[in-house]
Amino acid sequence: MNLTELTGKLALVTGGSRGIGAATAIALAESGADVAITYSSSAEEAAQVVKQIEATGRRGFAISADAADASAVEAAVARAVDVLGGLDILVNNAGVGAVGLITDLTLDDLDRVLAVNVRGMYVAARAAAAVLPDGGRMIHIGSCAAARVTSPGLALYAMSKSALIGLNKGLARDLGSRGITSNIIQPGPIDTSMNPADGPYAAAQRSHLALDRFGTPEEVAAAVVYLAGPATSYITGTELTLDGGHAA
Ligand code: NDP
């Protein structure tokens, strides 16, 4: 069995214009899938990702859809189904970081982060659940901060990512009768513009790892392809930790 064979599969990656989502969209295409991506503000970067998808010989297109806007997310799923001709794989990736002590963050900060990191993922999962065929896949990008918070300033972000554990387990139960799997990847620090490996918090994060380096978006993308592929049809409701030993 080719563990990464996705020829003919149809995928949607939310937040696919940059970072982990962009690497994931390209990796899915390299494995044979046609891929739609959403973005909220990085139109040029999204167009570049589409070009890279097309360079693999697969179809790609980008949809402007703010994850905080439920109707835009629902419309994006509908458009992906329309243009691709169906949907087999949802990668729920769009997310925002939040760093600040609880005494410094505002209620607007709370609402903004939950709107994207929790509500946006729930809405995308709900819309995809209505259209995925038997055997479809959902893969959500969480964070190692859901299990272990190693520094101050992460209460809001960790809370938002912890919520996804419950969502993922519930989705596995709701969709299991249709053979649809739902799993969550829990990355440690990954070198993206959200969390640069040379950023102000990088050394502190590295100090909590067994491997003394940040992960790459491509390493997360490879795990997504694995969970979307033929080898993992009996894995559901679980977490794949990809954290450089953050939990060790
Ligand atoms: P980046 O900031 O590099 O990229 C974020 C992506 O999400 C971009 O494509 C961005 O598109 C999109 N996005 C952000 N807000 C919205 C929105 N409101 N609506 C639609 N799309 C949106 O982040 P990462 O690649 O690092 O993060 C991706 C996911 O991985 C997130 O869920 C994050 O929490 C998680 N993660 C990241 C880790 C890290 O260390 N980097 C560690 C653990 C988890 P646009 O620019 O168009 O807004």
- Residues 131-169 have pLDDT tens digits of 999 999 999 999 999 999 999 999 999 999 999 999 999
Query: Which CATH class for the 10-241 domain?
Result: alpha beta
pLDDT at position 48 is: 98
What is the Å distance from ligand 1's center to 141 Cα? Answer: 9
pLDDT at position 197 is: 98
Instruction: Output the ligand 1 site: residues, CB below 6 A.
Output: 15-21, 38-42, 66-68, 93-96, 116, 141, 143, 187, 189-190, 192-195
Mean pLDDT, range 73-102, rounded to an integer = 98
Place of tokens 């994006």: 76
Mean pLDDT, range 36-65, rounded to an integer = 98
Instruction: Tell me which DSSP letter residue 118 carries.
Output: I
What is the Å distance from ligand 1's center to 15 Cα? Answer: 6
Amino acid at 68: A
The ligand 1 atom at the shortest distance from the C-alpha of residue 193 is 3
Q: How far is the C-alpha of 56 from the C-alpha of 49, rounded, in Å?
A: 11
DSSP letter for each residue of 174-190: HHGGGT-EEEEEEE--B
Element (H, E) at 139: strand 137-141
Angle between helices 217-228 and 19-30 (to 10 degrees): 50
Q: How far is the C-alpha of 50 from the C-alpha of 38, rounded, in Å?
A: 11
The ligand 1 atom at the shortest distance from the C-alpha of residue 190 is 40
Its pTM stands at: 0.98
Q: How far is the C-alpha of 170 from the C-alpha of 114, rounded, in Å?
A: 18
pLDDT at position 4 is: 86
pLDDT at position 3 is: 81
CB 160 within 8 A of CB 105: no
How would residue 2 be classed by pLDDT, with cut points 50, 70 and 90? confident
Q: Locate 59 and state its tokens.
A: 């179809």
Task: Say if residue 69's pLDDT is above 90.
Answer: yes
Residue to substitute in 71, 114, 141, 157 for testing ligand 1 pocket (most ligand atoms within 8 angstroms of CB): 141
